[in-house]
Amino acid sequence: MTAAPQHSTGRRNRLPCRLGCLTALGIALSACATPAPNTNPSLGWMEASSPKNLEVERAQYRHTIHFVTDSAELTATEQEHLLTFLQTVAPTAQDTLLVEGHADERATDLYNVQLASQRITSVSEFLREHGLARVPLRAAAFGERAPVAPGSNPAAWQQNRRVELVLERHLVRLPPCPDWSRESGMDFENLPGSNFGCATQTNLGLMIENPRDLARGRKLAPADGIHAAEGIVRYRTGEVIELQDEELGN
């Protein structure tokens, strides 16, 4: 008669142990779980703010120069149109000009390549005469191999007798900050601020001479070894010029 009460007491003793083990396991799992992102408007979104890097884009400006049959001379109308294009884009030494010469399908391929080269020369001389000698220039003569208008008729031939002038320029896109996506004040998440750190990148984008240098650096040129050695000698001999104290006015 005493077996049943003893068995019932044993089950009651093991029940708190099971509950305690499950509680401990739940605490451990909750400690390893990833916390949910904070969407509290007062603290801002948990994701990082706008990037503060400069972006470099390559832009192209195109202009087409047409020629009369079997000629490499620029007509007065084409000269006027070309001057308008140059005044609009204002090429600089940081840009690159690509001059592509073309011809229609008549005559032999060799003759058309030579004619396209002569048209390139006419355009290049015109560019130099108008102050663009320092702009890097690349040339390519295609002859009749790259027609812009299909067909064997006077209208197509007129379109294919041309020089394509392509100006390539690198442009800097400033970082989109500050965007004020996160409020200023205490931040316990240690996230990048959306409203700070923009001045350095913005000033660099506005002051850099050639934005192309941000896309790919320039090749290292030979250094002035004598100038560098003289600086070391002055430092070792104590001939370094000391900085003078400046008086700041009110």
Under 8 Å between Cβ of 68 and 115: no
Highest mean pLDDT among 98-102, 180-184, 240-244: 98-102
Q: Where are the domains of the chain?
A: 60-172
The average pLDDT across 166-182 equals 84
Mean pLDDT confidence for 157-166: 97
**Section 50-68 average pLDDT:** 89
pLDDT band at 23 (very low <50, low <70, confident <90, very high): very low
Q: Is the pLDDT of residue 37 over 50?
A: no
For residues 193 and 180, the answer to whether their CB atoms sit within 8 Å is no
Mean pLDDT along residues 179-187: 68
Q: How confident is the model at residue 189 (pLDDT cuts 50, 70, 90)?
A: confident
14 — pLDDT class (breaks 50, 70, 90)? very low
User: Rounded mean pLDDT of the chain?
Assistant: 79
Angle at CA of residue 109, ends 108 and 114, nearest 5°: 100
DSSP sequence for the chain: --HHHHHHHHHHHHHHHHHHHHHHHHHHHHHHSPPPPP--TTT--SS-------EEEEEEEEEEEE--TT--PPPHHHHHHHHHHHHHH---TTSEEEEEEE--SSS-HHHHHHHHHHHHHHHHHHHHHTT-TTS-EEEEEEETSS-SS-SSSHHHHHHHSEEEEEEEEEEEEPP------S-SS--SS-PPPSSSS-HHHHHHHHH-S-THHHHSPPPPPPP-HHHHHHHHHHHHTT-PPPPPP-PPP-
Architecture field, domain 60-172: 2-Layer Sandwich (3.30)
User: What is the reported pLDDT for 141?
Assistant: 97
Closest CA to 70 of 112, 110, 108, 109: 112
The backbone torsions φ and ψ at residue 106, rounded to the nearest 5 degrees and listed phi first, read -70, 155
